[in-house]
């Protein structure tokens, strides 16, 4: 059984993940589309109405009190088969530079973009471990079809690609997401769980609309899924990929 949980699925890339997962030739049996306000996520609710495999789950990644109910909902569906893929997609942006960033703004960004994925992954780790344990995954068989965590990163967190200090506080969170991914790859390898970071390209969403030469969410997520589904083995873990399959330099 192949199941996927996406955080921040109310709009943008997260919502497109839900659409494109359903469009795969072998779609997941279960897609858990998490959002902090299901009552306001009209597009997502529309998809869920037409696709019984989609379950909308309320979860704010900064609210640990939301996690137990979300885990219960997922466990109630997947049971002993576990959760195959967790996509830590939810994030916020801030344009502050290192001259203008405030403590409050920076801490909030870090809370959503870094601590959120870390604690959400902790909450779903037992379910991911159960999925990994179903296949005798070793260093060569680990893949998205066995068990994986995907952390949405950004070229803006790439030290090698940084040529200006714009949006310093956001960049800092994505550098931390990259390190979180490397730590997860080390710690989760023995369970047979892959961990990768993914840069979606510059995508035309509420967050990405300031960029020139944008990808549509569909182009981005089709490329991401194509890339993710080809990953095989321990050596694929602990790396940052781009939507088009290229490696993103740290």
Tell me which residues touch ligand NDP (CB under 6 A). 7-8, 10-14, 35-37, 60-62, 89-92, 112, 152, 154, 199-200, 202-203, 205-208, 211
We find the least distance from the C-beta atom of residue 245 to ligand NDP, in angstroms, to be 16
Give the nearer residue to ligand NDP in terms of CB position, either 28 or 60: 60
CB within 8 A of 72, min separation 6: which ones? none
Structure tokens at 76: 């109630």
Degrees (nearest 5) of the Cα angle 178, 122, 89? 50
Give the nearer residue to ligand NDP in terms of CB position, either 154 or 178: 154
DSSP state of 140: T
We find the least distance from the C-beta atom of residue 69 to ligand NDP, in angstroms, to be 14
Give the nearer residue to ligand NDP in terms of CB position, either 131 or 152: 152
Closest-CA residue to 187 (of 243, 122, 247, 250): 122
Distances (CA, A) of 12 to 90, 99, 157, 171: 10, 29, 20, 19
Give the nearer residue to ligand NDP in terms of CB position, either 15 or 132: 15
Q: Is there a contact between 120 and 57 (Cβ–Cβ < 8 Å)? A: no
We find the least distance from the C-beta atom of residue 154 to ligand NDP, in angstroms, to be 4
79 burial via Cβ count (<10 Å: 0-12, 13-18, 19+): exposed
Rounded to whole angstroms, how far apart are CA atoms 168 and 101? 8
Of all residues in this chain, which one has the CB nearest to ligand NDP in the complex? 12
We find the least distance from the C-beta atom of residue 130 to ligand NDP, in angstroms, to be 24
Give the nearer residue to ligand NDP in terms of CB position, either 103 or 212: 212
Rounded to whole angstroms, how far apart are CA atoms 11 and 42? 9
b/e per residue 40-50 (b: at least 16 CB within 10 A):
ebeebbebbee
We find the least distance from the C-beta atom of residue 35 to ligand NDP, in angstroms, to be 6
We find the least distance from the C-beta atom of residue 230 to ligand NDP, in angstroms, to be 20
Give the nearer residue to ligand NDP in terms of CB position, either 99 or 206: 206
């Amino acid at each position: 059984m192949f199941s996927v949980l996406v955080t921040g699925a109310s709009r943008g890339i997260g919502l497109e993940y839900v659409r494109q997962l359903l469009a795969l030739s072998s779609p997941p049996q279960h897609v858990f589309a998490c959002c902090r306000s299901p009552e306001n996520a009209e597009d997502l609710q529309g998809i869920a109405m037409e696709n019984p495999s989609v379950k909308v789950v309320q979860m704010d990644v900064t609210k640990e009190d939301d996690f137990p109910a979300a885990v219960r909902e997922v466990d109630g569906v997947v049971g002993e088969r576990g959760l195959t893929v967790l996509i830590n997609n939810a994030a916020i942006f801030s344009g502050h530079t290192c001259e203008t960033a405030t403590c409050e703004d920076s801490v909030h960004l870090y809370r959503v973009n870094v601590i959120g994925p870390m604690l959400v992954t902790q909450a779903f780790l037992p379910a991911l471990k159960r999925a990994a344990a179903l296949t005798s995954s070793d260093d060569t068989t680990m893949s998205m079809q066995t068990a994986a965590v995907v952390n949405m990163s950004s070229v803006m967190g790439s030290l090698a690609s940084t040529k200006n200090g714009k949006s310093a506080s956001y960049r800092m969170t994505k550098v931390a997401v990259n390190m979180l991914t490397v730590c997860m790859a080390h710690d989760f390898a023995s369970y047979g769980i892959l961990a990768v970071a993914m840069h979606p390209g510059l995508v035309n969403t509420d967050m990405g609309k300031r960029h020139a030469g944008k990808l549509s969410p569909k182009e981005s997520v089709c490329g991401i899924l194509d890339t993710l589904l080809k990953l095989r083995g321990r050596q694929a873990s602990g790396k940052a990929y781009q939507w088009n399959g290229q490696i993103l330099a740290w």
